[in-house]
Amino acid sequence: MSKEITARSEDYSKWYNDLVLKGSLADYSAVRGCMVIKPYGYALWEGMRDVLDRKFKDTGHQNAYFPLFIPKSFLSKEAAHIEGFAKECAVVTHYRLKNDPETGGVIVDPEAKLEEELIVRPTSETIIWNTYKDWIQSYRDLPLLINQWANVVRWEMRTRLFLRTAEFLWQEGHTAHATAAEAIAETTQMLDIYADFAENYMAMPVIKGVKSPSERFAGAVDTYCIEALMQDGKALQAGTSHFLGQNFAKAFDVKFSNKENKLDYVWATSWGVSTRLVGALVMAHSDDDGLILPPRIAPLQVVIVPIYKGDEQKAKIDEKVLAIVAELKQAGVRVKYDDSDNQRPGWKFAEYEMKGVPVRIAIGARDLENNVAEVARRDTKVKTSLSLDGLTPQISALLEEIQQQMFDKALAYRDSHITPADTFEEFERLLDEKGGFISAHWDGTAETEEQIKDRTKATIRCIPLNNPQENGTCILTGKPSVQRVLFARAY
Amino acid sequence: MSKEITARSEDYSKWYNDLVLKGSLADYSAVRGCMVIKPYGYALWEGMRDVLDRKFKDTGHQNAYFPLFIPKSFLSKEAAHIEGFAKECAVVTHYRLKNDPETGGVIVDPEAKLEEELIVRPTSETIIWNTYKDWIQSYRDLPLLINQWANVVRWEMRTRLFLRTAEFLWQEGHTAHATAAEAIAETTQMLDIYADFAENYMAMPVIKGVKSPSERFAGAVDTYCIEALMQDGKALQAGTSHFLGQNFAKAFDVKFSNKENKLDYVWATSWGVSTRLVGALVMAHSDDDGLILPPRIAPLQVVIVPIYKGDEQKAKIDEKVLAIVAELKQAGVRVKYDDSDNQRPGWKFAEYEMKGVPVRIAIGARDLENNVAEVARRDTKVKTSLSLDGLTPQISALLEEIQQQMFDKALAYRDSHITPADTFEEFERLLDEKGGFISAHWDGTAETEEQIKDRTKATIRCIPLNNPQENGTCILTGKPSVQRVLFARAY
């Protein structure tokens, strides 16, 4: 291998960084906490965006774009919201630089101070609801179903490539409804879309649930989430969908006249997923040799590498492979023929293994004579010799098989890592020895949740939807409880 | 008309704002100089983006994403660059807010001051070339062909919806090459792509040219541009492509070892178009009744409005129209059947006229009996009765005809507004009475250019590519000149 990767067993965190950097997904930047998303990583995000965007539009949402900057006073209008975001926001205070006559350098022009500071959006509820005030008068203007693809900034102190960066890319849906029931239906619809995307495209099983009050989005009445499990046994929140009640409508005085011609505050939702999903994808499936990408999301699904000596062999292979490439493309397969002559086949094999391309096809002169090709799966590393006759349907079927088996494998791992604990000692032991989700009784108070977090670093990931009701006692306080909730250490 | 639009003849500027606001393209926001791009305007931008993105990828470019923030010291590294952007940039100085115990309000936390101020990117040459330093070592790493879709901020004092906003959306290509010749070829290739897009998608003829030194991008060796003409006779710069020489490579010390194994600085280009194109599109074609959008870019190409009395008529029309809609969609036509019953047909006609939908089809009960539909063009307002048999190919052909005729009309207007002037008096008179591009001799100095601008508000839009060489004398100074250049008042 030309690029050494730290083994998961040795240092999981370093393994992750190695994959992101050596897999050409992203790079550190000169700006604290901000990353550069490299072309391969961006292609992955574009693929995710395109699938999600189609799903949003199919459910009646339209894209729009709102300002990057939020006046400080807006952020302060919803009490819980400002409480949640004040501590980590980038503040624009000036609008001009000037030459410094003393040093000859460039300084901020003190005379170009803004009257009111602008916050670089950490999320857009406030600027959007200030706008919705002008757009919504009557029930006929509802529902208003809008999504935005944008960058946001949260000045996180401890950052990780993709998982937690000061600036990240995301989509944020912001919808307005005439009734609470409609808004709640929207919230769960979007949660279902996220879950469907995670499971059927990312091959990453998720648990749908609702957050405990302490873990709610700042300003939400209820936060729904999808929670995934990474290979190190830590959970990762992969998407959230918030029922905002009338909180933002009240903060920005957005009322509508209903069918009975009476004024009422509008009901709201917001929901989002971010470039964090790229990090989740990496950690859910990859191994010590590099990325493993599920076919439906992989920027490149199949790579074909010729193995030859001399121009004559190359010409024969070219002829055959170009026909195969055309046929695969025709069938909608994202395929590349890497016949560049500046690297040897072994180097290419390692490179595409690192990049997680699901299927690698190698064709040599003898293969051509035998009318076969060597087909290698990235996920299982199994190699098969396949006939060149009818290769395209075989490859298409193989891609679907890989997709399904990647999901099945992740699901089996996840399901074997949801463990009940009935005492605090068992809870601690399971967290340390096994990881994953621990299903335990909790007395329902924020104090107990906080104490458990302080003592174990585990948080309540969610209360699963349709959670079985079961009487029990809180693992920490022994107080009565009516249901188990899922705890885990999390990213 | 339910929505009054100011006539162009009365107040062109107000007409433009009316179209943008009442055509639902954009709205003013609470943040000075920043706009909200509404769903219809954003769909227009998405359509443009998708076409351009395909063209970029077809010419070997890949998308990536670089940080929103640029350290102040980076911006200062290229002398002309900082000179050009220092006066209009948003500066982040702090990273936290806190509660103010005195007032109970929220203030910027003075203890959370950044060590070095961050500039919200006005363009990304500096942060990108700082990154390229790590990515480029050898000629094998070149060319590096990268594009970014992003938001940028320039703190403009006088803003106009889409045409000049503090924040805008754009794409910025940043490429690195081994030789000057390759970089120049890239610069002109991208200019050609922009011109092709403007003419064949936006139906907006453009003149390709090079800027005079005073109008160059800050940091460029040469700035190429496409210049369009609006209906009020003012020019609009619709896209630029810069040959940056080795300026940024030198500023950020980006060297590569060439095939002879010698170190040399890398050659650069950058190129961009922005949401300004939406404004250009509006002004190039629309009339006093609303937007007129060219079919290839229109978010909606065809709208079908049923005209009926009672449910029975409606059901019959529905049945026929749903089949037509399916067939049109099959043929790739973006079509909507507006059978909503909360507005009358006349209101709908006005609404789609306002929104510039290229073709409106109305079908009533009698039309159905006669197996025809009334087909109205938005651009010419000509109505025709077309047979429902073979309607789809007729509509497809009509859309292509509209596209071509919109371009031809704009081209005829543009060509009749390129006028030579041989004296300064004639130059001034033409600018005031006719507008458009004035083709005149200029002595080649920045001083003369500046004086002409001060006296007439006209600037040199470009020196057209392949400009005929012709001896003459400068209209202002009488000094010798070897070619005419194009002047105009401009957006």
A218 falls within a domain:
yes
CB contact under 8 A, A31 and B76: no
CB contact under 8 A, B89 and A69: no
Same domain, A281 and A370: no
- Domain final position from B218, B250, B285: B285
Which of B38, B131, B155 lies closest to A64 in CB terms?
B38
Give dist(CA B148, CA B243) in Å, integer.
18
Q: pLDDT tens, B394-433?
A: 999 999 999 999 999 999 999 999 999 999 999 999 999 9
Work out how many domains chain B is built from and give that number: 3
CB contact at 8 A, B304 and B329: no
Give dist(CA B488, CA B418) in Å, integer.
10
Residue in A with minimal Cα distance to B140: A342
Give dist(CA A433, CA A425) in Å, integer.
12
pLDDT of residue A101: 86
pLDDT of residue A78: 87
A358 falls within a domain:
yes
Same domain, B216 and B363: no
Residue in B with minimal Cα distance to A342: B140
Q: How many angstroms away from the CA of A391 is the closest CA of chain B?
A: 27
B403 falls within a domain:
no
Q: How confident is the model at residue B3 (pLDDT cuts 50, 70, 90)?
A: low
Residues in chain B within 8 Å Cβ distance of A24:
none
Q: How many CB atoms lie within 10 A of CB A350?
A: 16
CB contact under 8 A, B29 and A66: yes
Find all residues with CB under 8 Å of A369, minimum gap 6, and list them: none
Owner of token pair 């006669």: B370
Same domain, B178 and B322: no
B7 falls within a domain:
no
Q: What is the mean pLDDT of residues B260-267?
A: 97
Residue in A with minimal Cα distance to B152: A68
CB contact at 8 A, A156 and A276: no
Partner B, chain A 103-132, Cβ-Cβ below 8 Å: 105-106, 108, 117-120, 127, 130-131
Q: pLDDT tens, B435-457?
A: 999 999 999 999 999 999 999 99
DSSP one-letter string for A426-445? HHHHHHHHT-SEEEEE--S-
Q: How many angstroms away from the CA of B437 is the closest CA of chain A?
A: 34
By the CB < 8 Å criterion, does B39 face chain A?
yes
pLDDT of residue A4: 87
**Mean pLDDT computed over every residue of chain B:** 96
pLDDT of residue B103: 86
Strands B459-464 and B207-210, bridge-based pairing: antiparallel
For residue A54, pLDDT over 50 is answered with: yes
For residue A378, pLDDT over 80 is answered with: yes
Give dist(CA A314, CA A364) in Å, integer.
9
Partner A, chain B 316-345, Cβ-Cβ below 8 Å: 342
By the CB < 8 Å criterion, does A65 face chain B?
yes
By the CB < 8 Å criterion, does A224 face chain B?
no
A404 falls within a domain:
no
For residue B2, pLDDT over 90 is answered with: no
Partner B, chain A 167-206, Cβ-Cβ below 8 Å: 167, 169
A408 falls within a domain:
no
CATH of the domain at A320: 3.40.50.800
pLDDT of residue A81: 87
Find all residues with CB under 8 Å of A315, minimum gap 6, and list them: none
For residue B370, pLDDT over 70 is answered with: yes
Same domain, B280 and B308: no
CATH of the domain at B468: 3.30.110.30
CB contact at 8 A, B321 and B378: no
Q: What is the mean pLDDT of residues A28-51?
A: 97
Radius of gyration of chain B (CA): 26
Give the HSE-up count for residue A181: Cα atoms under 13 Å, Cβ half-sphere: 0
The identity of residue A150, as a single letter, is A
pLDDT of residue B157: 87
Q: How many CB atoms lie within 10 A of CB A427?
A: 23
CB contact under 8 A, A63 and B42: yes
Same domain, A232 and A312: no
For residue A292, pLDDT over 60 is answered with: yes
Q: In 3-state terms, what secondary structure has residue A481?
A: strand
Q: pLDDT tens, B280-292?
A: 999 999 999 999 9
Give dist(CA B410, CA A337) in Å, integer.
44
Same domain, A277 and A313: no
Residues in chain A within 8 Å Cβ distance of B46:
63
**Is the pTM value of this prediction over 0.95?**
yes
By the CB < 8 Å criterion, does A25 face chain B?
no
Mutate to test the interface with B, among A50, A62, A92, A135 (most CBs of B within 10 A): A92
Mutate to test the interface with A, among B22, B50, B92, B151 (most CBs of A within 10 A): B92
Partner B, chain A 361-420, Cβ-Cβ below 8 Å: none
Q: What is the mean pLDDT of residues A387-398?
A: 97
Q: Is A302 exposed, middle or buried (0-12, 13-18, 19+ CB in 10 A)?
A: buried
Q: Which two tokens stand for residue B46?
A: 């998405």
Instruction: Please list, residue by residue across B61-92, b when 16 or more beta carbons sit within 10 angstroms of its beta carbon and e when fewer do.
Output: bbbbbbbbbbbbebbbbbeebbebbbbbbbbb
By the CB < 8 Å criterion, does A147 face chain B?
no
Give dist(CA B282, CA B231) in Å, integer.
10
- Domain final position from B250, B285, B320: B285
Q: What is the mean pLDDT of residues B340-368?
A: 95
By the CB < 8 Å criterion, does A70 face chain B?
yes
Same domain, B30 and B122: yes
Residues in chain B within 8 Å Cβ distance of A96:
86-89, 91, 155
Q: How confident is the model at residue A103 (pLDDT cuts 50, 70, 90)?
A: confident
CB contact at 8 A, B91 and A108: yes
Give dist(CA A327, CA A316) in Å, integer.
17
Same domain, A123 and A272: yes
Helix (H) or strand (E) holding A43: helix A39-58
Q: What is the mean pLDDT of residues B239-263?
A: 97
Q: How confident is the model at residue B1 (pLDDT cuts 50, 70, 90)?
A: very low
A412 falls within a domain:
no
Q: Is B104 exposed, middle or buried (0-12, 13-18, 19+ CB in 10 A)?
A: exposed
CB pairs under 8 A between A and B: 192
Q: pLDDT tens, B51-62?
A: 999 999 999 999
Mutate to test the interface with B, among A25, A28, A34, A36 (most CBs of B within 10 A): A36
Q: pLDDT tens, B21-32?
A: 999 999 999 999
Give dist(CA B39, CA B194) in Å, integer.
24
Q: How confident is the model at residue A19 (pLDDT cuts 50, 70, 90)?
A: very high
Radius of gyration of chain A (CA): 26
- Domain final position from B398, B429, B449: B398
Q: What is the mean pLDDT of residues B237-266?
A: 97
Q: pLDDT tens, B382-397?
A: 999 999 999 999 999 9
Mutate to test the interface with A, among B38, B57, B68 (most CBs of A within 10 A): B68
Q: How many angstroms away from the CA of B148 is the closest CA of chain A?
A: 10
Query: Peptide bond before B39: cis, by omega within 30 degrees of 0?
Result: no
Owner of token pair 């940056």: B244
CATH of the domain at B151: 3.30.930.10
B407 falls within a domain:
no
CB contact under 8 A, A95 and B90: yes
Residue in A with minimal Cα distance to B156: A95
Q: pLDDT tens, A218-266?
A: 999 999 999 999 999 999 999 999 999 999 999 999 999 999 999 999 9
CB contact at 8 A, A69 and A92: yes
**Nearest one of B349, B232, B319 to B283, comparing CA atoms:** B232
Same domain, B363 and B440: no
Partner A, chain B 425-484, Cβ-Cβ below 8 Å: none
What are the start-end ranges of the H helices in B33-71? 39-58
Same domain, B360 and B430: no
The identity of residue A485, as a single letter, is V
Same domain, A66 and A170: yes
Find all residues with CB under 8 Å of A186, minimum gap 6, and list them: A143, A145, A175, A177, A269
**Mean pLDDT computed over every residue of chain A:** 96
Give dist(CA B453, CA B75) in Å, integer.
29
Residues in chain A within 8 Å Cβ distance of B88:
95-96
Which of B86, B105, B118 lies closest to A31 in CB terms?
B118
Q: How far apart are the first and last CA of chain A?
A: 30
Q: How many angstroms away from the CA of A261 is the closest CA of chain B?
A: 17
Give dist(CA B379, CA A124) in Å, integer.
38
Helix (H) or strand (E) holding A99: strand A97-99
Give dist(CA B24, CA B316) in Å, integer.
33
Q: How confident is the model at residue A157 (pLDDT cuts 50, 70, 90)?
A: confident
Q: How confident is the model at residue A1 (pLDDT cuts 50, 70, 90)?
A: very low
Find all residues with CB under 8 Å of A262, minimum gap 6, and list them: none
Residue in A with minimal Cα distance to B35: A67
Domain that holds residue B342: 302-398
CB contact under 8 A, A151 and B151: yes
By the CB < 8 Å criterion, does A251 face chain B?
no
Q: How confident is the model at residue B79 (pLDDT cuts 50, 70, 90)?
A: confident
By the CB < 8 Å criterion, does B251 face chain A?
no
Give dist(CA B401, CA A67) in Å, integer.
38
Strands B372-377 and B359-364, bridge-based pairing: antiparallel
Give the HSE-up count for residue B295: Cα atoms under 13 Å, Cβ half-sphere: 26
Which of B120, B140, B146 lies closest to A92 in CB terms?
B120
Same domain, B30 and B56: yes
By the CB < 8 Å criterion, does B34 face chain A?
yes
pLDDT of residue A3: 63
For residue B102, pLDDT over 90 is answered with: no
